[in-house]
Amino acid sequence: MEKANRTTKHKIATIGSHSALQILKGAKDEGFGTIAVCEKNRMQPYKSFRVADKIIEVSSFREFMDVEDELMAENAIVIPHATFIDALSTEKIEKLKTPYFGNKRILKWEVDRAMQRDWLKKAGLTLPGIFKNPEDIDVPSIVKFYGAKGGKGFFLAKSGDEFARKIAEHKGKAYIVQEYIIGVPVYIHYFYSPLTEEVEIMSFDRRFESNVDSIGRIAAKDQLDMGLDTSYNIIGNAPLVVRESLLPKAFEMGEAVIAASKKLEPKGIFGPFSLETVLTPELQFYVFEISARIVAGTNPYITGSPYTALRYNEPMSTGRRISREIKTAIAQGRLGEVLG
Ligand code: AMP
């Protein structure tokens, strides 16, 4: 039997990883029942933190399609995040039968880094330069692989020769070579409501990436002696509040990305997304990536951020904001508008 405080017959489901804790907690706060699809050895957090009413066990996230009938029988709406997209691939996601929050068709514009660049350019944002031909590399550059794997394996190269030496370990992988921008990395978290057509800034974060964020703890001489190569494997996220004078530009960039997305795919992007930027000493935002779904950088804000505290008189995580959007859509008879 449904609990009395349940908002609807619908339940909110996601894969147990990445930002599932706040997605499920936010869903419960909005009165939904919740389901976590978990790999056997990764269930403990979803049990211990009491966010999942039901846990469906799979031996690998790649088996998600096998539990779809069970999810549909529960009236589940699935919420994508990076692990979800990585485990299923965009092709499989397009074939999902279970109702899905967000626009599936926008995902390919994130996964393919060349298409992503096209989108950000159409939005008129300032981007790092790229080298189409790696032999031409003549400034410090970062070599990045396709997919949402959190910076694993990325490397720096200052010349074509250095690139050739380092790429040998990564045969067969698709990559992009971007100019490396020196400045402070700032990750901006947005939410766009297709119901109100309004963009919100939810929060900002900074990341801790290994080993690049620990190299500064070693003297330059020791760095050289140790023959270190930098890598960008993300370990966690920390809260950040930016200079207030940067906010108008941050809003403008979010709005430009949404407007450009509507020209790429019907409905464009909606729900949570993030722009990953480096801010130079001249306070120029260089946008080096877009994530077209919730990012783990919102995880420090399960009880809300300084920015959501301004707009909402209650704790509002990005996960909860997703469920609020679904709840509002249901109440207005517009659920189809938030499903992709
Ligand atoms: P990404 O997968 O694009 O988020 O990149 C992983 C990490 O590499 C980022 O979080 C940054 O620390 C770093 N990074 C990526 N692109 C650039 C760039 N163009 N300039 C400086 N740092 C970058």
Determine the residue of 145, 188, 274, 288 to mutate for testing ligand 1's pocket, defined as the one with the most ligand atoms within 8 A of the Cβ atom.
288
- pLDDT tens-digit series, residues 4-17: 445 579 999 999 99
Cα 91 to ligand 1 centroid, rounded to whole Å: 26
pLDDT of residue 1: 41
Q: What is the mean pLDDT of residues 254-259?
A: 98
- What is the rounded distance in angstroms from the CA atom of residue 254 to the CA atom of residue 192? 9
Helix (H) or strand (E) holding 155: strand 155-157
Q: Does residue 121 surpass a pLDDT of 90?
A: yes
Q: Does residue 2 surpass a pLDDT of 50?
A: no
Q: Are 12 and 24 in contact (CB under 8 A)?
A: yes
Q: Are 304 and 317 in contact (CB under 8 A)?
A: yes
pTM given for the model? 0.94
What are the structural domains, with CATH classification, of the chain? 1-100 (3.40.50.20), 103-128+182-222+233-312 (3.30.470.20), 129-180 (3.30.1490.20)
Does ligand 1 come within 6 angstroms of the Cβ of 187?
A: no
- What is the rounded distance in angstroms from the CA atom of residue 117 to the CA atom of residue 291? 12
Q: Does residue 133 surpass a pLDDT of 90?
A: yes
Determine the residue of 116, 120, 144 to mutate for testing ligand 1's pocket, defined as the one with the most ligand atoms within 8 A of the Cβ atom.
144
- What is the rounded distance in angstroms from the CA atom of residue 58 to the CA atom of residue 62? 9
Mean pLDDT score across all residues of the chain: 94
Does ligand 1 come within 6 angstroms of the Cβ of 128?
A: yes
Q: What is the mean pLDDT of residues 6-29?
A: 93
Does the CA dihedral 84-42-237-215 come out positive or negative? negative
Does ligand 1 come within 6 angstroms of the Cβ of 180?
A: yes
Distances (CA, A) of 76 to 73, 100, 119, 128: 8, 9, 31, 40
- 176 versus 301: the higher-pLDDT residue is 301
End-to-end CA distance of the chain, in Å? 29
Does ligand 1 come within 6 angstroms of the Cβ of 65?
A: no
For residue 183, the ligand 1 atom closest to its alpha carbon is 21
- pLDDT tens-digit series, residues 154-198: 899 999 999 999 999 888 888 999 999 999 999 999 999 999 999
- What is the rounded distance in angstroms from the CA atom of residue 326 to the CA atom of residue 319? 11
In percent, the amount of the chain with pLDDT more than 90 equals 86
Determine the residue of 86, 111, 142 to mutate for testing ligand 1's pocket, defined as the one with the most ligand atoms within 8 A of the Cβ atom.
142
- pLDDT tens-digit series, residues 223-247: 889 988 888 899 999 999 999 999 9
